Structure 1
Amino acid sequence: MVLDIIFAKYNYIIYITLMTIGFYGMIGKRNLIKKLIGMSIFQYSIFLFYVSAADVSGGTAPILLKEPAVYVNPLPHVLILTAIVVAVSTLAVGLSLVIRIYKEFGTLDEDKIIELSR
């Protein structure tokens, strides 16, 4: 009984696990690279959630057919492709800022950077 429920909703368990890991990486870690990795994991877990939620069982591509059919809406998939490009760009800017911070302060530890900036 319990296993049937778990297997029916396994994708939600995976999303929640990935979101928790990413959130912990952003909040719990002091290293800036680890924070960026946590942010990426969090973002991609949300992408997986939206793509999975947009899927329709037994749906077909939105092409007009002679017989009635259930179609899959392509809009969420297109929006997630755009979000992936934004996420990669955000990661690239974040990594370039981390490189600049490391050159300036010689460390990637958040507490030491705050201490050295005062």
Structure 2
Amino acid sequence: MLVAALYNYWIVIALMMIGLFVVILGGNLVKKIIGLNIFQTSVFIFYISVGKVDGGSAPILTEGVELYSNPLPHVLILTAIVVGIATTALALALAIRIKQAYGTIEERDIQTRDSQC
């Protein structure tokens, strides 16, 4: 296979590395949440790419179709997207609460203020 033919996997790798980089090096809690969402999106793209069947048809019984594509990975990703939105909303709500309690959302400032108490 040509490397260019697998471009979706290169996109997955790039998004995973960008998301991981933001989560590890970002000091701001909102940036970390965004990094986790980028990483999560890369997992979605990977899972859908693996579930794709070349030449596969929708699983509707018709004459002349012998190769079907399984819709289960796509349905599971739809469920994961909904769960991801809910977790992102919860994380942002926690970031707002942390901002109210500590006056900042920078990780180092929070750790400094927490260690002083």
Q: Same fold by TM (over 0.5)?
A: yes
> Shift of the alpha carbon at 1:64?
1.1
The answer (yes or no) to whether the contact 2:57–2:65 under 8 Å persists in 1 is: no
Indicate which of 40, 58, 63 corresponds to 1:61.
58
For 2:90, give the aligned amino acid.
V
Shift >4 Å, 4+ stretches: none
Indicate which of 10, 16, 40 corresponds to 1:19.
16
Q: Give per-residue Cα distances to partners, 1:81-101, cap 9 Å, x unaligned.
A: 000011001100000000000
Name the CA distance, whole Å, in 2 between partners of 1:94 and 1:40: 11
Name the CA distance, whole Å, in 2 between partners of 1:38 and 1:91: 11
- Aligned positions of 1:7-46 closer than 5 A: 7-46=4-43
Q: Residue in 2 aligned with 1:51?
A: 48
- Aligned positions of 1:80-99 closer than 5 A: 80-99=77-96
Name the CA distance, whole Å, in 2 between partners of 1:53 and 1:68: 21
> Shift of the alpha carbon at 1:53?
1.3
Name the CA distance, whole Å, in 1 between partners of 2:3 and 2:100: 48
Is there any run of 5+ residues in structure 1 with no aligned partner, and where? none
Size of the aligned set, in residue pairs, is 115
